[in-house]
């Protein structure tokens, strides 16, 4: 593809592609917009990573940071490599070395699909810089996002702000770091989790799944937890089950207009980035189904990242309780604000949330003299 075609009035400001012949690693860094601060965003590893995908996600980060009114810029990185490969560490180290000009001066890596807290430690070791990647284990002074489940925690907190969750039926697509943490928090808040899924299939039980058992199985078997739990259904069943709250927390582009017309829910909380198409968002709005946009609902990770960035060279660890309290307070308030803006503007919640974020980014661009 022509990278120049990705560029518009917002960005990206820089696209860096790297490769390593010894490991076969290919990778890309997209720094989208730094008007409100240096680039900060997750780093994913998958054999299917593309430049366009990373550019889209970098733009989401621009809106996400502005949406929660924290001062970093949108950026994202991707590594074209199989995270299950025995050569993962070598590829990750090669990726970090190739980006040593940009990391951590212009961009700080974070955890996303395919990377773990140990991977963050590996990057810090390769670059001899504790500030090169966020999400390292607590034993290294990091703030372990996945262990705390900050993103999934925030997703459930948003839902709890909008509906009384006790006794409500919740379906979660995806049982990775976000989906599992969301399911855990939903159960703590009294909701009935009626469906979850992983790449191995979907579990559906209208009477409620045993979330504690599922979490234990996930710790032992990973994605295979759903098969160990009980009979699995085809992927997609978790999206179609009748529920009060639906949480797409897997990958992007999973709900199109056709599927949106079939959903049997009243509230969609976007745990993943870009899970619904624009056409789907319009269908859901017409049907009276409330949608909390991704960069509002799943911003718990960026709130935690802001704390991590603030303390990345400090000898004092961040208090996890402080982070979770901030995630809850910030995301609950933002969700209410966005829904009110959507009603006021007569638009979908995505359009309203993006408009709020764009206003903040544009103001910063004007102040810096980047636009007239």
User: Position of tokens 């408009």?
Assistant: 355
- In 3D space, the residue among 72, 81, 80, 153 whose CA is nearest the CA of residue 331 turns out to be 153
**DSSP states along 257-269:** HHHHTT---SEEE
Alpha-carbon distance 67 to 102, whole Å? Answer: 25
CA distance 271 to 180: 11
Nearest-angstrom CA–CA distance, 82 and 45: 7
Closest CA to 204 of 193, 217, 212: 193
CA angle, 260 as apex, 238 and 63 as ends, to 5°?
95
Closest to 103 measured CA to CA, from 135, 59, 134: 134
Element (H, E) at 199: none
Helix (DSSP H) and strand (DSSP E) numbers for the chain? 15, 12
The one catalytic residue among 64, 76, 88, 184: 76
Residue with tokens 């262990």: 147
Active site residue 76: yes
Tokens of 344: 């006021």
- The tokens for 229 are 């739990």
- 8 A C-beta contact, residue 341 and residue 168: no
Residue numbers annotated as active site: 76
């Amino acid at each position: 593809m022509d990278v120049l075609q990705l560029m518009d009035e917002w960005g990206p400001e820089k696209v860096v592609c790297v490769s390593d012949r010894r490991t076969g690693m290919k990778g890309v860094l997209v720094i989208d917009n730094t008007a409100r601060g240096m680039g900060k965003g997750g780093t994913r590893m998958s054999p299917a990573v593309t430049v366009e995908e990373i550019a889209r996600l970098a733009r989401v980060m621009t809106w996400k940071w502005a949406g929660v009114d924290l001062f970093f810029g949108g950026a994202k990185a991707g590594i074209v490599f199989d995270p299950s490969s025995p050569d993962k560490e070598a590829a990750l180290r090669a990726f970090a070395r190739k980006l040593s000009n940009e990391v951590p001066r212009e961009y700080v890596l974070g955890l996303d699909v395919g990377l773990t807290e140990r991977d963050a430690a590996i990057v810090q070791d390769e670059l001899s810089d504790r500030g090169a990647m966020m999400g390292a284990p607590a034993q290294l002074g990091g703030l372990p996002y996945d262990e705390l489940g900050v993103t999934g925690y925030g997703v459930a907190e948003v839902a709890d702000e909008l509906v009384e969750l006790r006794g409500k039926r919740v379906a979660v697509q995806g049982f990775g770091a976000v989906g599992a943490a969301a399911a855990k928090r939903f159960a703590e808040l009294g909701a009935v989790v009626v469906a979850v899924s992983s790449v191995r299939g979907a579990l559906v039980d209208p009477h409620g799944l045993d979330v504690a058992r599922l979490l234990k199985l996930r710790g032992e078997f990973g994605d295979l937890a759903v098969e160990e739990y009980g009979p699995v259904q085809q992927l997609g069943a978790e999206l179609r089950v009748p529920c009060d709250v639906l949480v797409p927390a897997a990958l992007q582009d999973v709900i199109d207009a056709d599927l949106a017309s079939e959903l049997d829910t009243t509230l969609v909380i976007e745990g993943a980035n870009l899970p619904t198409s624009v056409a789907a968002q319009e269908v859901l709005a017409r049907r009276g189904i409330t949608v909390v946009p991704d960069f509002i609902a799943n911003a718990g990770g960026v709130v935690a990242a802001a704390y991590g960035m603030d303390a990345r060279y400090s000898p004092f660890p961040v208090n996890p309780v402080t982070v979770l309290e901030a995630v809850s307070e910030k995301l609950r308030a933002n969700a209410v604000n966005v829904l009110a803006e959507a009603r006021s503007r007569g638009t979908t919640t995505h359009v309203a949330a993006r408009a709020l974020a764009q206003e903040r980014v544009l103001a910063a661009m004007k102040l810096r003299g980047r636009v007239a």
